[in-house]
Chains A and B, each alone.
Chain A
Amino acid sequence: MRQVDVELRNVVKAFPTRHESGQLVAVDNVSLEIYRGEFFALLGPSGCGKTTTLRMIAGFEDATSGEILIRGQAVQNVPPFHRPVNTVFQDYALFPHMTVLENVMFGLEMEGVSKKEARKRAQEALEMVRLHQAEDRRPRQLSGGQQQRVALARALVKKPAVLLLDEPLGALDLKLRKALQYELAALQETLGITFIYVTHDQEEAMTMADRIAVMNAGRVLQVGTPEEIYETPATEFVADFIGETNFLRGDILEVNNPFAQVCLDETLTIKAAFNDQALTSGSRVTVAIRPEKVNLFSATGPVKYADGTNESPEEHRELLLRDPDINLVRGRVLRANYIGTDTRYVVSIGQNQQLVARVQNYGLRSDTTFHIDQEVYIFWDAEHSRVLTE
C-alpha cells in the first residue's frame, strides 16, 4: 500500500459573514488522501474552496472541524513555520526588499543554517531552476516566469515533505504556462516530493497531475486519475467542467447489464453505460456524451473508403448496426464551425434534441466536412454515453 503524506478527515471551514450569526461554508466535509511522491491537483472553479483547503494544509487557516494529518501527525495547533510544507504563492510573494539569493536564503536562515551553508544551498537551488546568474537582482527586475522560478527555488530549498502550489502559473501567458507545466511536472518527478497543486484550469490539471480532485461549492465531487475523471465523470458538474460534454435528459426504459436503455423522446432511445447499480426503470436521468466520441457520415451521399471503394449510406448503416453495442441515430446539421484540428457540428436529433459532435479534420476538407441542413447519421459506442448520478 502506498504511504499517505497528507490526509484530510471530514474537514470543514466556515467563515463568519457580516450578517448576524451567518456563515459561509468554504470547505464542506472534505476527506482526501494524498500519497507520497504524488502530483495531486485540486481542480475547481473560483470560489470552490480549493485555495482554502490548501491554506489549511499550509497552516494559514484553521479548520472549523475535522482533522488534517501530515505524515501521520495531526497538525491542528502547529503554526505554519513548524509544518514540513512550503508554499508557492499565486503572486509569488517574493520579498521586494531582498535580492533573489536573499529570498532563497531566508528560509534556511530561519532554520538556523549558517550563512555560508545557506548561501551554498540557495545557489544550488537557483541553479536547479536555472536562475543562478540572476541571484543579485531584485524580484521586480525579473520577468513573471523568472519570479515564478525563484518562488519555486525558495520553497524547494527547504526540502519540504509536501510542496503546496496555489495557481503558480496563473499570471503567466499561455506559451510560457505550457512550457512551465512540463518543467514543473519533470521537476516533481526528479525530486519525488509530493506536490499539491491548486488550479482552475482543467487542461493544466490533466497535463500535470497523477490524480485530480474536482471540487465545487466546497465539496470534493470526484477523485481520480485524469483518464478516470474524463472518461467516467461521476457527476454532471465534473463532466461539464472537464472538457466539453453533451447532456441529454431522458427516462430509463429498462436496465440490462452492461447498458441501460434511455428514452430521450418518443422517436429516440439510446443505450448508455452506468455506475449506479440502484438505477431503476422509469427514473429521470442525464446522459453525458463527449463530442469527440461521436462520428458522422452523410445520409445522402456515398461513404468513401481509403482504398477508393464506395458504399451507400444504407449499406454502411447496416454494417455498423451489426455491432449491438452501438448507438446510431439520424440527424440534421444545424451549425458547423471549423476550428483547425477539428470541426464542431451541432446536430439536431430526435424530436427536439441537440448534440455536439467534433470531427477531426484528418482528410481533405471535402471528405470530412458536412454543410448546414445536411442529413447525417451519427453513431458512437454505447459505453461512451454515460448515465450520471445526481
Chain B
Amino acid sequence: MARTLSPSRITTETIHYDANRIRRDMAVRKIGKIGLLLNPIFTYFFLWAPILLLVIFSFNDSRSVSTWRGFTLRWYNNIFNDIVGTEARFSTGLMLNALGNSLFVGIIATIIATIIGTAVALSLARGNYPGKRFVDSLLYLPVVIPEITQGVSLLIFFNVLFDFMSTVTGQRAQFGFGTIIIAHVAFNISYVAIVVRARLADMNPRLEEAARDLGANEWQTFWRITFPLILPGVISGALLAFTLSLDDFVITFFTSGVGTTTLPVFVYGLLKLSVTPEINAISTLILVVSTVLIGISMLIQGRNATRL
C-alpha cells in the first residue's frame, strides 16, 4: 500500500546563488539599519534640545544665556526669597499666590472633568443609541482643535452668556475662577473620556454579564465590578487632566479675570521684559512636576493593562 514517488517529479537542478546580488542587498540592509538607529537620535534631539537647554541654564552661574559659568542653585534660591534681579514685578508671594490659584483651578476642574469624562466614556462604551458614532468622533475635537480657537470661542461664549444673564437678572457676572474652571473642565473632559474609554474597551464585557448572572443588579454591577476595574484608567485620566490644567496658558489667558492669575500666566507676565535665569528655574520646576504626574499616569495605565 505504500506509494512510490515517480522519479520524474524529483527535481535534479542545483540552485544557484547570485553573489553580487546578495552583496548589494546586504549593503542596502546595513544602510537601513544605520538609518533606523540615527532616526530617533535626530528626532529626540530636535524635540528635547530646547528643553534641555532651559534646564541646563537654570543651573548656570551667569545671567547670560550664552556662556556656561559653572553650577549654581542661586536662581532657585532667588525665586523663593523675593530676589529676582532687576525684575520689579516679581515677588515670591505673588508667585506662590499664582501657584495656589493654579492648584485650586486644577483640583476643582479635575474632579468635575473626571466625573463627567468617566460618565461620557461609559455612555460611549456601553450605550446603544443612534448617533453614538458621531458623538464618539466629536470626543476627539477638543484634542485636535487649536487652543487659541478654544480660548477665543470660550471668551465669546462667556460674554454672550453674561449679556444674557444680565438682561434676565440685571446683574453682570465677572470673569474669574468660575470661568477658568468651566473652560478647563471643557477641554479636560475629552482627555479623561479617551483614557477611561480605552480602559473600558480592554475590559471583558462578559465580566459585567457574569455579575448580573450571579444576581447583581446594574448598580451593584457598576460599583463592585466595572468601577474597580476601570479605576486605574480613571486615576490616570485625572492625573492627565490635572497636568493639562496646571500647564494651560492660552485658554486660561482668555478666560481669567482680575486676581485669578495662574502660574503659567504669571510666568508669561515675567517674560514681557526679558528671559531671566529665574524664569528658567520656575519653568524647570513646572516641567518636573508635570513629568512626574504624567509618568505616574502612564505607570498606572501600563501596570494594570495586563490585569484585565
Residues of B within 8 A of A89 (CB): 206, 209-210
| Contact of B1 with A91 in the complex, beta carbons under 8 Å | no
Q: Is A178 an interface residue (CB 8 A)?
A: no
A336 within 8 A of B: yes
B216: which A residues are within 8 A, CB to CB? 81, 106, 110
B224 within 8 A of A: yes
Complex Cα gap A95–B224 (Å) = 10
Q: In this complex, what residue of A is CB-closest to B215?
A: A110
Whether a CB of chain B sits under 8 angstroms from the CB of A140 is yes
Residue-wise interface mask of A (66-96) relative to B, using a CB-CB cutoff of 8 A (1 in contact, 0 not): 0000000000000111000111010101111
Contact A96 B224 (CB under 8 A): no
By beta carbon, the residue of chain A nearest B206 is A93
Could you tell me if B1 and A336 are in contact, using CB atoms closer than 8 angstroms? yes
Question: What residues on A are CB-neighbors of B213 within 8 Å?
Answer: 58-60, 80-81, 85-87, 155
Once A81-B217, A369-B1, A370-B1 are accepted as A-B contacts, the answer to whether A93 and B210 lie under 8 Å apart by CB is yes
Q: How far is the CA of A81 from the CA of B1 in the complex (A)?
A: 62
Q: Once the chains bind, are B215 and A81 in contact (CB under 8 Å)?
A: yes
Question: Does any Cβ of A come within 8 Å of B3's Cβ?
Answer: yes
Task: Assess whether A175 is interfacial by the CB under 8 Å rule.
Answer: no
Shortest beta-carbon distance from A370 to chain B in Å: 7
Q: How far is the CA of A370 from the CA of B215 in the complex (A)?
A: 62
Given A97-B228, A140-B307, decide whether A91 and B206 contact each other with a Cβ distance below 8 A: yes
Q: Is B300 an interface residue (CB 8 A)?
A: no
Q: Are A97 and B229 in touch, CB under 8 angstroms? A: yes
Interface secondary structure of B, over-half rule: helix
Q: Indicate if B308 sits at the interface (CB-CB under 8 A).
A: yes
Is B212 part of the binding interface, using a Cβ–Cβ cutoff of 8 Å?
yes
- Are A87 and B307 in contact, with the CB atoms below 8 A? no
Contact with B along A212-249 (1 / 0, CB 8 A): 00000000000000000000000000000000000000
Of chain B, the residue at the smallest CB distance from A110 is B215
Instruction: Please encode chain B, from 217 to 232, with 1 for each CB lying within 8 Å of some chain A CB and 0 for all others.
Output: 1001000110011000
* B41 interfacial by beta-carbon distance below 8 Å: no
B222 CB to closest chain A CB (Å) equals 13
Q: Is A130's CB within 8 Å of the partner chain B?
A: no
Establish whether residues A81 and B212, one from each chain, have CB atoms under 8 Å apart when the complex forms: yes
Q: Does A318 contact B (CB under 8 A)?
A: no
Find the residue from B1, B209, B224, B225 having the highest chain A CB count within 10 A. Answer: B1
Residue of B204, B209, B213, B215 most packed against chain A (CB within 10 A): B213
Q: Assuming the A-B contacts A336-B1, A371-B1, are A80 and B212 also in contact, with contact meaning beta carbons closer than 8 angstroms in the complex?
A: yes
Task: Tell me which residues across on chain B come within 8 A of A80, comparing CB atoms.
Answer: 209, 212-213
Is A107 among interface residues, defined by CB-CB distance under 8 A? Answer: yes
In contact, A107 and B214 (Cβ under 8 angstroms): yes
Q: Does A332 contact B (CB under 8 A)?
A: no
List of A residues within 8 angstroms of B229 by Cβ: 96-97
Closest to A138 in B: B307
Q: How far is the CA of A155 from the CA of B213 in the complex (A)?
A: 9
Asked if B308 and A111 make an inter-chain contact with CB atoms under 8 angstroms apart, the answer reads no
The reply to whether A110 and B1 form a contact with Cβ atoms under 8 Å apart is no
Q: Report the bound CA distance from A80 to B212 in whole Å.
A: 6
Report the bound CA distance from A274 to B178 in whole Å: 84
Determine whether B96 belongs to the interface, using a CB cutoff of 8 Å to chain A: no
Indicate if the CB atoms of A95 and B225 lie closer than 8 Å: yes
Chain A residues with CB under 8 A of B224: 106
A96 to B229, CA, bound (A): 8
CB distance from A14 to the nearest CB of B (A): 16
A200 proximal to B (CB < 8 A): no
Contact of A372 among B3, B207, B214, B308 (CB under 8 A): B3
Does B182 make an interface contact (CB < 8 A)? no
Inter-chain contacts of A149 with B (CB < 8 A): none
B124 within 8 A of A: no
Question: Would you call B206 and A106 a contact (CB within 8 A)?
Answer: no
* B293 interfacial by beta-carbon distance below 8 Å: no
Output the nearest chain A residue to B214 by Cβ-Cβ distance.
A107
Q: Of residues 43 to 67 in A, which have CB atoms within 8 Å of B's CB atoms? A: 58-60
Nearest 10 pairs of A and B residues by beta carbon: A107-B214, A110-B215, A93-B206, A93-B210, A371-B1, A80-B212, A336-B1, A81-B215, A87-B213, A110-B216
Give 5 new A-B contacts, CB below 8 A, not counting A60-B213, A110-B214, A336-B1: A58-B209, A86-B214, A93-B210, A110-B215, A158-B214
* Chain B interface (Cβ < 8 Å from any Cβ of A): 1, 3, 204, 206-207, 209-217, 220, 224-225, 228-229, 307-308
> Could you give 10 example pairs across A and B, Cβ below 8 Å?
A79-B212, A80-B209, A80-B213, A85-B213, A86-B214, A89-B210, A93-B210, A94-B210, A110-B214, A370-B1
